[in-house]
Amino acid sequence: MIEVQTKDHHLICILEGVLDATTPLEVSVDQLRNKKVQLVGRNIESWNTDFVVTLFNVLQGVPKEHITYSQIPQGMEQLLRLAFQSPYKEQEVTQPKLPFLERVGDAGLCFCRCVKKGCLFIHACLVSWGRQLVGKAVYRRKDFWMVLADCGPKSILIVSLISFMVGLILAFVGALQLKTFGAQIYVASLVTIGMTRIMGAIMTGVIMAGRTGASYAATIGTMQVNEELDALQTMGISRTDFLVLPRMNALLLSMPILILLADFLGILGGCFVCVLFWEVPLSEYIRYTINSFHITHFLVGVFHGVVFGLIIALCGCYFGVHCGRNADSVGAATTNAVVYSIVWMIVMTGILTVICSWIGI
């Protein structure tokens, strides 16, 4: 039960007996206005959190400085003090709107800082490669084999499936147009040149960016959150040697092999369409495929793949190393690694295409 007494500017609530949600507490707003509340415990047999909630709802209009406790059970007092604490609110900091020229200048400075940071990271990777050539790079060989297994054999299934479907679609779309001229037999040449020269490398690069590049960023970003990168730096171990170098080596080694597989599966997908849907003889498809295959196209595709592998490794490791210290930063680093990898692959595809056109390849 609760006994309420009023004395001068004080409202004394005497709590005794069994205190639960059914315990009546009849206090009006007028009684609490401009009053200091004193909670006094007397022979309390038992209490529960339902009573604490009821008491808080009645007294929540009273400032916490006006509430005192006397002989209240320790647990109840702690709950009440915690309940009457002011809720934490982040102060919203409003940034003043800068003039247009200042905003342009800030954007330019931010861009320059990002370019500088990226160039320093690439320089550190090149230095690590130099140390590797002279046998001074510090990383565990088993880490390299583990990363190679992840971005190589474990990627074969998805690369094979996507490449087969791309070759199938390329053949089907090309045959629809060539059939108008009765030249659907040239679909074999179309698929062979398209897959070996560029499509196999691009599709493999996109798959590896979403699979392996994101994995690199998430793994290294999580290490940043757990302060493992700081531990490596404290022990005097180069983060670039220990984390970035094995991942770059693994991708540079696995990309040409995956592109070779993608080219073969793409040509096989085109054969599937031509033989089953367009009634092209298998022997003719194979003959036109062999006649259209040039080692130059294949080497151009492999070189694209090596460049794409380097881009994926650099983007994934860069955003992982420069990740923030919370879980949201790991997600942002993973997203940025995939997006920037694909963007830079498209940019480099355009650049390499122009260069190959200039030199007549």
- Cβ atoms of 185 and 281 closer than 8 Å: no
Task: Name the residue with higher pLDDT: 211 or 139.
Answer: 211
Tens of pLDDT, residues 84-123: 775 545 555 566 777 888 888 888 998 999 899 889 999 9
Of 133-137, 294-298, 313-317, 353-357, minimum mean pLDDT range: 133-137
Say if residue 149 is in the same domain as residue 59: no
Instruction: Output phi, psi for 99, to 5 deg.
Output: -60, 165
Q: What pLDDT score does 241 carry?
A: 86
Beta carbons within 8 Å of 70's beta carbon, 6+ residues apart: 38, 39, 40, 41
Banded pLDDT at 33 (limits 50, 70, 90)? low
* pLDDT score for 79: 81
Q: How confident is the model at residue 36 (pLDDT cuts 50, 70, 90)?
A: confident
| pLDDT tens-digit readout, 283-311 | 888 888 888 888 888 899 899 999 999 99
**265 and 169 in one domain?**
yes
Number of domains in the chain: 2
Shared-domain flag, residues 153 and 29: no
Quick one: pLDDT band at residue 31, thresholds 50, 70, 90? low
354 in a structural domain? yes
Q: What is the pLDDT of residue 347?
A: 92
Please report the beta strands in the chain, taking only residues with DSSP state E, as ranges in sequence order. Answer: 2-7, 10-19, 36-47, 67-70
Domain boundary (64, 83, 102) is at: 83
Domain check: are 30 and 150 in the same one?
no
Most confident of 8-17, 75-84, 214-223: 214-223
Give yes or no: residues 146 and 286 share one domain.
yes
Same domain, 34 and 170: no
In this structure, are residues 292 and 314 in contact, taking their beta carbons and an 8 Å threshold? no
Same domain, yes or no: 68 and 122: no
Whether residue 92 is contained in a domain is answered as no
Residue 313 lies in a domain: yes
At residue 281, the pLDDT reads 84
- pLDDT over 70 percentage in the chain: 94
Closest C-alpha among 169, 170, 198 to residue 259: 198
Please indicate, yes or no, whether residues 273 and 203 belong to a single structural domain of this protein: yes
pLDDT at 361: 77
Q: What is the mean pLDDT of residues 55-71?
A: 77
How many CA atoms lie less than 13 Å away from 321 in the CB half-sphere?
24
- The predicted pLDDT at position 88 comes to 47
Each residue of 145-159: pLDDT tens digit? 888 888 888 889 999
- Classify residue 91: in a domain, yes or no: no
* Both tokens assigned to 21: 């949600």
pLDDT at 81 over 90: no
> Do 57 and 186 sit in the same domain of this protein?
no
Buried b (16+ CB within 10 A) or exposed e, 263-287: bbbbbbbbbbbbeeebebeeeebee
Over 90: is that where the pLDDT of 338 sits? yes
State whether 204 and 301 are in the same domain.
yes
Amino acid at 53: V
90 within a domain of the structure (yes/no):
no
Residue 30 is part of which domain span?
2-83
pTM greater than 0.75 (yes/no): no
Domain C-terminal end among 67, 83, 99: 83
| pLDDT above 80 for 344 | yes
Q: Is residue 107 part of a domain?
A: no
Task: Report if residue 88 sits inside a domain.
Answer: no
Task: Tell me: do 74 and 214 sit in the same domain.
Answer: no
Looking at residue 318, its pLDDT comes to: 92
Residue 100 lies in a domain: no
Looking at the structure, do residues 178 and 304 belong to the same domain, yes or no?
yes
Name the DSSP class of 88.
P
Write out pLDDT tens, residues 243-281. Answer: 888 999 999 999 999 999 999 999 998 888 888 887 778
pLDDT, averaged across the chain: 84
Domain harbouring 42, CATH code = 3.30.750
- Among 68, 83, 98, the domain-final residue is 83
